[in-house]
Structure 1
Amino acid sequence: MKIINKYTLLSLLVLMVWGCTDNFEDINTNPHGISNESLTQMNNHIGGSFTPMFLNVFNASPAWNYQLQQGLIGDVYSGYMTPPTPFAGNVNNMTYSLVDGWNEFPWTDAYNFVMPFVLNIKNAVAISGDESGIKFVHLANIIRVQAMHRVSDIYGPIRYTKFDDFSTTGEYDPQETAYNAFFEELGAAINGLKEFESDAQFVPFDMSSLKGDIALWRKYANSLRLRLAMRIVKVNPALAQEQAELALLSDAGFLESTDMIISTGFVNPISVISDSWGDIRMSAEMESILKGFNDGRMEKFFKPSEDPALAGEYKGIRMGIEIEAKGQYLGHSELGSVIEGEKIQWMAAAEVWFLRAEAALRGWNGAGNAQANYEEGVRASFSQYEVSGVDAYLSDSTSTPNDFVDALNADNDYAYPSEVKIAYNPLGTNEEQLEQIITQKWIAMFPDGQEAWSEFRRTGYPRVFPVVINNSGGTIDTEVQIRRINFVMPEKNTNSENVAEAVGFLDGPDTGGTRLWWDEPGGNF
């Protein structure tokens, strides 16, 4: 018998509590307040389920949860940031000794606070009998795809298409099956929301910069479809092109100047981790690329070093090195104004321009011109951060990333293995042009390390440095680098039969060295 795990029970409890409130208004109604009937009419019975989803695609609070959900996985493996802290005696994720207790948080956040609440919305809409409620289902599915493609891009197989049925909720999908479902749901949402573009019922519940504008949500869903289409281009180029061209030719359009930002009501957790705890700093790769390019965004992303010996330089740390004590590298560059405030970025408009640039490079219908899209992406990123000098930047045909020099230990120095430049070179090989596109996309997506790590695994760009210390016991190749996170212990302990089946969906053992379905080795063309 297949075991039903605790996350399924949580979703069922939520539904049971919902159902047990049927007679509540008869015994505890405030005659001067809003009745349950009025709340239902205002869709609050549905809208309230969106809040936990908005707050847990990236967990907004407490900050330690974000640190374990993303900060010590995608943020470090992407080459964006590095901790100065030698957690667990420096035997930790950064040195490839994967910590199970840390690495379960992307999974548990999704299955506690995203998947059950999407199901709640579906059930509430079905019970209401209001056909217009389908718009809330489409919106919930868009958020679910945003959340769950990230989870799948960490672990591989996930519980997705069978989640809503009690008898099958513990069963996993191969990653290919999950991605096909993502495309189906995004397509249905893009098409189904068209008739609701003037509808304002989502406005009170939308915590994003889209402000309940259904037309903008269609653009966001279409942008997300293009992101996921590009993700699978090496493993299934025909499906990738089909889905990309559906996006490129859709009347929904794309996010072009509006960034998808969530207003959480909580201080950005990265600022707590960086400024209050001193647990994250600039990476070596960020230093090499931003300083080598003389990139004005560096001053937005990071702060000058506080270590007097560094004389106010912007200084990064290489991941996976020997760190004896936190004080060694603590004075290196903290995170900058990019993480101030109470907002978290789900998708920058700049990313979409770079996706369109790659689509054009691949010759897909509706993509436009690769160079023009590339330059629009850089312009959108400079505009987002109010950085001047974009014209001079785009015409710079000589600057290349710097070699990295460790401030304390020359054993950690690393020569940047590419002379990628800023000014777009349409005469370069496809790989050379793609490296330019992905390098600039990597900069523009900061600080979303999970998406940057996924794109590095897909393309090999930009050149993320290998670790110096590899404590994986041979399960992760130092040069190939980490490719995924192993399945989480709560699932292994409570859903073991289904986890065993999911391991069979992998093309290798349940380790950090096994590639995901879309992670094909070799060149990009």
Structure 2
Amino acid sequence: MKNIYKYLLASVIIINFTSCTSDFEKINTDPHGISEESLTQMNNNVGNEFGPMFLNVFNVTPAWNFQLQQNLIGDVYSGYMTPPTPFAGNVNNMTYALVDGWNGFPWSDAYGSIMPQALNVKNAVALGGDPDGIKFVYLANIIKVTAMHRVSDIYGPIRYTKFDDFATTGEYDSQEVAYNAFFNDLTEAIDGLKAYEGDVQFIPFDMSDFEGDIASWRQFANSIRLRLAIRVSKVNPALAKTQGELALASDAGLMESNNMVINTGFPHPLTVISGSWGDIRMGAEMESILTGYNDGRIETYFTPSEDESLAGDYKGIRMGIDIDAKGQYGDHAAIGGVIDGETMTWMTAAEVHFLKAEAALRGWAGAGDAKANYEAGVTASFAQHGVSGIADYLADNTSTPADFVDALNATNDIAYASDVKIAYNDAGTLEEQLEQIITQKWIAMFPDGQEAWSEFRRTGYPRIFPVVVNNSGGTIDTNTQIRRINFVQNEKNTNGENVEEAIGFLNGPDTGGTRLWWDTGASNF
């Protein structure tokens, strides 16, 4: 089975590479004397591979694909959103009855439109004979790491370092090995692209607001390096500090004044899922925190409930409750103007400031002051969403998250488990300061639930409510909550031997209750 899988996948990759390279012979001709025509053709062939990558870090169309890649996994487990729809008789991801037919999409999107395309870029550049083509490899690898760390943060072990070799393409890396490879790929890209600052050849292929500016791409890659350094700070403090301080000291800089936004050409899929289908609504935790804080961002993130009995309140739904029919909670708060337009945000300046705030708490050189970074993060988020009143908000030392009250069923009511405040308390314990940082970071990263879920699993913040209905059959502890998604069924069917090896890289069985490598469950400090 292992060999059959290798040959099948090799054939798929070869076909994909051939179909995307319309002038293969020209690319492979006369590498020592490249004509302008052949160079242009090579760049076009390489550049065409970037489109699928840009559109599949977050799958943007069709909306149901995004719903399965992101919305019914990270978006709901983060506390950001909850469906009013009792899919499959309410026996689904929200009640911990993990649906294999749904949960394979993060994997299939990555291995259909990210990893093969990055390999195609690498191969086309090697065949093209232009040494400056390496810049495209660096750029592809930045996107690849951006996508694949998200995939790893869903499943754990992934196919990454051995993917490019037909003999080993089905083999998995442990998450530790994958993360080390992410750092290596990012470092090579950040360092290697320095020589190409000012180069214009990526402009026609860049779907981001960077518009082909290589210096901005270096800055983004360096910011992702800081994100991943913080991610591993509990499981490998030495590695985290090394990589984090590299990011903080790099001449590439960090995204402290701009966001990474992709111009997709398609409406944000949440406009369809929330607006047209009515299949997603405000999460209970969002209601508790934003209303408790009197946070002005609520007006951008959500629309008031349409249920007349709620008098225009912003009402959320607790995940994992007993829902009989969509009509029960369907008129609760929908997703607001934050998703208007044809763009997808990959990373924000606000997140970078919060990363620096935690790095300062951990004593990393170059991180600056935790309070200053925290306040800069909140300020950047307010500015991003056009919200006023930042000075009063940052000075608020009394508001706390509200307890959640279900509008229809008191069984689902629950007290918020913390009185974490807004005004930064630099006299608090490290744990108290971290809770403030992560709570505001969680607010600022909306609507990227995947990243928010990862940070909750790593830190325990903010305080996500446990499910009321747990249909996992005991594989997921209600109070510990879901920690990962089990390996993809299609992989088990076609690549079973390697999946079995990958299960051995986990700290437990292939279930949603097993913690990932960086999710230690231990104290944050």
TM-score (norm 2): 0.96
Answering whether residue 16 of structure 2 is matched by residue 14 of structure 1, we say yes
Answering whether residue 277 of structure 2 is matched by residue 277 of structure 1, we say yes
Answering whether residue 163 of structure 2 is matched by residue 176 of structure 1, we say no
Deviation at 1:193, TM superposition (A): 0.5
The code of the aligned residue for 2:513 comes to G
User: Does the CA contact (< 8 Å) of 1:159 and 1:169 recur in 2?
Assistant: yes
Q: Partner of 2:196 in structure 1?
A: 196
User: Does the CA contact (< 8 Å) of 2:21 and 2:45 recur in 1?
Assistant: no
The code of the aligned residue for 1:410 comes to A
Q: Partner of 2:32 in structure 1?
A: none
Deviation at 1:39, TM superposition (A): 7.4
Q: Partner of 1:312 in structure 2?
A: 312
User: Does the CA contact (< 8 Å) of 1:39 and 1:45 recur in 2?
Assistant: no
Give the Cα separation in 2 of the matches to 1:491 and 1:223: 32
Deviation at 1:129, TM superposition (A): 1.1
What pairs up with 1:292-311 in 2 under 5 angstroms? 292-311=292-311
Q: Partner of 1:289 in structure 2?
A: 289
Deviation at 1:264, TM superposition (A): 0.6
Q: Partner of 1:515 in structure 2?
A: 515
Deviation at 1:12, TM superposition (A): 2.0
User: Does the CA contact (< 8 Å) of 2:301 and 2:336 recur in 1?
Assistant: yes
Q: Partner of 2:416 in structure 1?
A: 416
Deviation at 1:23, TM superposition (A): 6.9
What pairs up with 1:80-99 in 2 under 5 angstroms? 80-99=80-99
Q: Partner of 1:117 in structure 2?
A: 117
Give the Cα separation in 2 of the matches to 1:88 and 1:242: 47
Give the Cα separation in 2 of the matches to 1:462 and 1:245: 26
Deviation at 1:14, TM superposition (A): 1.1
User: Does the CA contact (< 8 Å) of 1:47 and 1:205 recur in 2?
Assistant: yes
User: Does the CA contact (< 8 Å) of 2:20 and 2:45 recur in 1?
Assistant: no
Answering whether residue 368 of structure 2 is matched by residue 368 of structure 1, we say yes
Q: Partner of 1:477 in structure 2?
A: 477
Deviation at 1:16, TM superposition (A): 3.2
Give the Cα separation in 1 of the matches to 2:120 and 2:291: 48
What pairs up with 1:417-496 in 2 under 5 angstroms? 417-496=417-496
Answering whether residue 125 of structure 2 is matched by residue 132 of structure 1, we say no
Q: Partner of 2:157 in structure 1?
A: 157
Deviation at 1:45, TM superposition (A): 1.0
Give the Cα separation in 2 of the matches to 1:168 and 1:235: 28
Q: Once the two structures are superposed, what CA deviation does each residue of 1:15-37 show, in whole Å capped at 9, x if it has no partner?
A: 23356754799xxxxxxxxx993
Give the Cα separation in 2 of the matches to 1:227 and 1:211: 23
User: Does the CA contact (< 8 Å) of 1:11 and 1:117 recur in 2?
Assistant: no
Q: Once the two structures are superposed, what CA deviation does each residue of 1:429-454 show, in whole Å capped at 9, x if it has no partner?
A: 00000000000000000000000000
Q: Once the two structures are superposed, what CA deviation does each residue of 1:155-196 show, in whole Å capped at 9, x if it has no partner?
A: 000000000000000000000000000000000111001111
Deviation at 1:40, TM superposition (A): 2.9
Give the Cα separation in 2 of the matches to 1:53 and 1:175: 22
Give the Cα separation in 1 of the matches to 2:109 and 2:341: 22
The code of the aligned residue for 1:173 comes to D
Aligned residues: 516
Give the Cα separation in 2 of the matches to 1:215 and 1:65: 33
Q: Once the two structures are superposed, what CA deviation does each residue of 1:502-522 show, in whole Å capped at 9, x if it has no partner?
A: 001111000000000110012
Q: What SS does the aligned partner of 1:486 have?
A: coil
Q: 1:193 to 1:36 in 2, by over 3 A?
A: closer
Q: 1:215 to 1:19 in 2, by over 3 A?
A: closer
Deviation at 1:341, TM superposition (A): 1.0
Give the Cα separation in 1 of the matches to 2:20 and 2:234: 45
Q: Once the two structures are superposed, what CA deviation does each residue of 1:30-83 show, in whole Å capped at 9, x if it has no partner?
A: xxxxx9936735711111000000000000000000000000000000000000
Q: Once the two structures are superposed, what CA deviation does each residue of 1:321-356 show, in whole Å capped at 9, x if it has no partner?
A: 000000000000000000111111110110000000
Q: Once the two structures are superposed, what CA deviation does each residue of 1:371-424 show, in whole Å capped at 9, x if it has no partner?
A: 000000001000100110011100000000000000000000010000000000
Q: 1:150 to 1:510 in 2, by over 3 A?
A: same
Give the Cα separation in 2 of the matches to 1:289 and 1:158: 34
Q: Partner of 2:31 in structure 1?
A: none
Q: Partner of 2:325 in structure 1?
A: 325
Q: 1:428 to 1:493 in 2, by over 3 A?
A: same
Out of 8-17 and 421-430, give the one that drifted further: 8-17
Answering whether residue 384 of structure 2 is matched by residue 384 of structure 1, we say yes
Q: Once the two structures are superposed, what CA deviation does each residue of 1:78-110 show, in whole Å capped at 9, x if it has no partner?
A: 000000000000000000000000000000000
Q: 1:237 to 1:23 in 2, by over 3 A?
A: closer
What pairs up with 1:51-90 in 2 under 5 angstroms? 51-90=51-90
Give the Cα separation in 2 of the matches to 1:318 and 1:19: 49
User: Does the CA contact (< 8 Å) of 1:156 and 1:174 recur in 2?
Assistant: yes
Deviation at 1:200, TM superposition (A): 1.1
- Percentage of pairs with the same residue: 72
Q: 1:19 to 1:311 in 2, by over 3 A?
A: closer
Give the Cα separation in 2 of the matches to 1:15 and 1:286: 44
Q: Partner of 2:108 in structure 1?
A: 108
The code of the aligned residue for 2:96 comes to Y
The code of the aligned residue for 2:501 comes to E
Give the Cα separation in 2 of the matches to 1:297 and 1:9: 49
Give the Cα separation in 1 of the matches to 2:303 and 2:9: 40
Give the Cα separation in 2 of the matches to 1:428 and 1:23: 65
Give the Cα separation in 1 of the matches to 2:24 and 2:351: 46
Give the Cα separation in 2 of the matches to 1:61 and 1:22: 30
Give the Cα separation in 2 of the matches to 1:178 and 1:155: 12
Q: Partner of 1:31 in structure 2?
A: none
Give the Cα separation in 2 of the matches to 1:17 and 1:397: 60
Q: 1:459 to 1:8 in 2, by over 3 A?
A: farther
Deviation at 1:128, TM superposition (A): 1.1
Give the Cα separation in 2 of the matches to 1:452 and 1:8: 35
Give the Cα separation in 2 of the matches to 1:306 and 1:314: 9
Q: CA RMSD in A?
A: 1.5
Structure 2 stretches lacking a partner, 5+ long: 28-34
Give the Cα separation in 2 of the matches to 1:383 and 1:200: 30
The code of the aligned residue for 1:10 comes to V
The code of the aligned residue for 1:323 comes to I
TM-score (norm 1): 0.96
Q: 1:231 to 1:24 in 2, by over 3 A?
A: closer
Q: Partner of 2:141 in structure 1?
A: 141
The code of the aligned residue for 1:228 comes to L
Structure 1 stretches lacking a partner, 5+ long: 26-34
Q: Once the two structures are superposed, what CA deviation does each residue of 1:229-265 show, in whole Å capped at 9, x if it has no partner?
A: 0001111001000100000111111001110011111
The code of the aligned residue for 1:193 comes to L
Give the Cα separation in 2 of the matches to 1:313 and 1:328: 16
User: Does the CA contact (< 8 Å) of 1:357 and 1:373 recur in 2?
Assistant: yes
